[in-house]
Every structure is written in structure tokens, then in C-alpha cells.
A = this chain, B = another copy of it.
Amino acid sequence: MEETVFSLAEEVKTLVEEKNFSKLRATLREYNPADIAEAFCEVGEAFFPVAYRLLPKELAAEVFVDMEPTFQKVLIGAFSDYELKLILDELYLDDTVDLIEEMPANVVSRILRNSSPAERKTINELLKYPDDCAGSIMTTEYVNLKQDMTVEDALSYIRRVAIDRETIYTCYVTSPGRKLMGIVSAKALMISPLYTKVEDIMEQNVISVSTHTDKEEVGNMFGKYGFLALPVVDTENRMVGIITVDDAIDVIKEEAEEDFTVMAAMTPSETPYLRTSTFSIWKSRIPWLILLTLSATFTGMIISTFEASLSACVALTAFIPMLMGTGGNSGSQSSVTVIRGLSMGEIRFSDILRVIWKEVRVSLLCAVTLAAVTYLKIYLIDYLLLHSLEPGEMLTVPIVVCLTMAVTVICAKLIGCILPILAKKLGFDPAVMAAPFITTIVDALSLVVYFAIAVSIIPGLS
């Protein structure tokens, strides 16, 4: 946790305990809403509702938005209907929608009861969009200009509506039928002569997304184009809302975190780790561990099948962890590269052959290098230094191990690059196919290859 937040949390606690509310009010005003929200989450339920009431109205709304859902629920529970209405008036509609999605039914109905009929209508429309699409993160509060306005008209219109708009820095020019005709930046308005027509300074090659565009793609577009906001249109190019850069940053971060979590075989959660309960962490981790442990039954079965071979040449056992480990690492190198390429929009399904051809060449190079290194390592360390191999075994075992190594590395890299692309094509999350699952598949495969090669090369094995 950051120093600022930590010291603010301590101060809030002390001042609430001392009931020194005037000092607390003055202190809070010096901080940024995000820091206050984090500090409130830190001090806990006994302190923050009191402190929250000391915030000026506008700051209160911003702090509220930045708090974690559990704590928002506590606050709403403590609010009178009047207080709730004040906060809701200050919130942008996309934040109200986020809030509604996190709250239990009784809180939701209180929120809707305290919204105006027009707001309720928009909220209900926004709620309809699936959680992973552009519609779910957009807001309907943008600046809407007309083509025949002059810059002067536009500026005075902006002055009137600015307070309610999530951004005024990108303005949207629409036709009478709400079709998106172009965009004008506040910069263009500020530097153009007042009598200029909006249509003369608007940018007409507008990049927009549809309400059903994947959120992840929206995040990538912000990263690529450097926009401050992106218009959302329906199938007939009618303007329905905008997505602002701050929400896009949240998406970029969330999508990356989700990939990290899923690749490490956990169920994603939105609560920060230190404030997640032990039981919740256990719940997000244990199903995957059980699944992966049970799937290791296959590797166990393979080893049991070849028990006789292993008894006849015990030296083979010592190389199992190395072969499985190298296979797993080779596979996850490829899978992580491809999974991230898919997430970032750099790799599409149509690139599958290019990817395979690249991985074939890389894996051949890696296979040859690793086989050579392994042979040297066995000769120098296992044979000369540690004497863990008999001279007789040196004729066959290193060949079996190095061959297996080469075949495993090639197979692992190919499986690692193909599975995520197929998963995405079939509508599954490619990240689920990453490290843990590919490792399990590669583990089983490397053992089968190992024993098959061993039986065919080492005399007397079966």
C-alpha cells in the first residue's frame, strides 16, 4: 500500500477517534479522491462513514466512485434517500451502471427509485449490454454538436453543458438523424476563429466502435491510436455513446490482470489481494489445483505402464523431471507469446499458418541447441563428475534423453502455439489453455515419447 494512503488512513482514524471533525474536513480536502477512497477502504467500517459525511458534495461523489463495492454498499446502507439522490446526481451514468451491477437487488431498487425517469431509462438501456462489450463501459453523456453551428455557438453550448459531460475535449458532430458525421477537438475549437463553421474544422475520418465490439479491442484501440475518447455507434452509424480514456485504461489493466490470473490457474477477482478474504482466495485457487492434480493421473498411469522398463534401467527415472520441466517451459514460452498476441490484437486466426511456420523454425533451433547442451551436461556432470551413469548406460541413455528432449521441445512449442488460437476460434478464453493445461498435456506427451524411444533404443527394455 502506498505511503500517502497509509498515512491518510492513520490520520483519519486518529481524527475520528478524537472527534476532531473540523481538522479532518480540512485534511481530506487536500487529497485526491482516489487516495481518500483507498484510505477509507483501509480504515474500515467503524471509521469511514463518519469521515465520508464531512466531504463536500462533489468530492464525495468522486470518492464514492473510487471505493470498492463492499464499502459502497455499507455507505448506501447508511445514506438517507436524500443523501443517496445527491450522490446519484453527481455520478456519470456509466458509473451508476457499474454500481448497479455490483449491488444486491434491494440496493439496486433503492438506486433506481432515487433516479429520474429519464436516467432510469438510460440506465436500463446501458444495463442490457453484455459485460465484455463496448456498450457496458460507455457513457451517454457526451458533447453533441451540429454541422452548421459556428465555433462561437459550439463554445457557448459547451459552456452550458460542460458540467454534465464526462469529457468536453472531444465533441461529436451528428446529423439530425443522430448519425455521426465527424469529431471536433476542443483544441480545434479553441484555436479557430469564432465565425468558422463546425463542419469546416471537423475530422471526418472518424474511427468508431459498435456497442458490441469486444472491450479488449476497445482497450487496444486506445493504446494504438492515442485517443482521449472513442465514439460508440449502432449498426446504422447512429451515435449512442462514448468511451473515455480513463475507462479504457481500466480495461487494459483488467484484461492483463485477467490473463495473468487465468494463466496462473486462478479465477480472476476484482478485489485487491490484501483485502480479499482467505476463503475467497482459497475458492479462486483450489478448483484449478484439484483439476490439475487429477489430470496428473495420466502421467502417473503412463509411468505405471512402463514400471518394468524403469526397474530395468533405473537411470531413466532421474531424467523425468528435466524432460517434463523443459517441455513445460518450451510450451509456455510459445503459448504465452501467442496468447498475448491474441489479446493485443497482433495475432488473428488467419495468421495461424504464419505462427506455426515461425514456431516450427524456432522449435527446431531450440531442439538442436537443447539436445546438444543436454548431451554435454550428461557427459560432463552425470558421467564424469557424479558417476551416476555406468559406462554401459552412456551408450544408450544420453541418446534416448537427447532425442526425447528434441521431440518434446518441438511438440511442446507447436501445441503451445496452436491450442490458444484454436481456443479463441472456438470462443474459449485462450489464456485458460496456457501454462497449466499445456504443461499437463506436454508432461504426458514427453513421458510417452521418452518411454517409446527408450524401448526402441535400449536393448532388453519392454
Residues of A within 8 A of B (CB): 1-2, 29-32, 34, 155, 158-159, 162-163, 168-169, 186-187, 190-191, 205, 207, 222-226, 228, 245-246, 248-250, 252-253, 256-257, 259-261, 263-266, 272-274, 278-279, 281-282, 285-286, 288-290, 292-294, 296-297, 299-301, 303-304, 307, 310-311, 314-315, 317-322, 324-326, 328-330, 332-333, 335-338, 340-341, 344-348, 350-351, 354-355, 358, 361-362, 365-366, 369-370, 373-374, 377, 381-382, 386, 388, 405, 409, 435-436, 439-440, 443, 447
Contact = CB atoms under 8 A, between A and B. Distances in A.
Contact of A301 (B248, B330, B388): B388
B250 A223 contact: yes
A358 B278 CA distance: 6
A28 to B, nearest CB: 11
A409 B355 CA distance: 36
Interface class of chain A by DSSP: helix
Contacts of A246: 226
B388 A190 contact: no
In the complex, the 4 A-B pairs of residues with the closest C-beta atoms, listed nearest first:
A296-B322, A264-B336, A226-B246, A299-B321
A311 B157 CA distance: 86
B224 A34 contact: yes
B321 A447 contact: yes
Given A252-B252, A293-B325, A299-B322, A266 B337 contact: yes
Contact of A2 (B158, B272, B348, B405): B348
Contacts of A336: 260-261, 263-264, 266
A383 to B, nearest CB: 12
29 contacts: A1-B350, A158-B190, A168-B190, A169-B228, A260-B336, A263-B336, A264-B332, A264-B335, A264-B336, A266-B336, A273-B346, A273-B347, A273-B355, A278-B361, A282-B365, A286-B366, A288-B329, A290-B370, A293-B322, A293-B370, A293-B373, A296-B322, A296-B325, A297-B377, A301-B388, A303-B320, A304-B388, A307-B315, A321-B447
Given A289-B326, A325-B293, A370-B293, A333 B443 contact: no
Copy number in the complex reads 2
A253 B346 contact: no
A253 B223 CA distance: 8
A329 B281 CA distance: 15
Contacts of A307: 314-315, 317-318
A300 B288 contact: no
A355 B315 CA distance: 41
Contact of A366 (B226, B272, B289, B338): B289
Contacts of A324: 321, 324
Contacts of A443: 321, 325
A207 B2 CA distance: 14
Contacts of A34: 224-226
A159 to B, nearest CB: 5
A282 B168 contact: no
Nearest to A186: B186
A317 B289 CA distance: 21
Contacts of A355: 273-274
A285 B186 contact: no
Contacts of A285: 330, 333, 362, 366
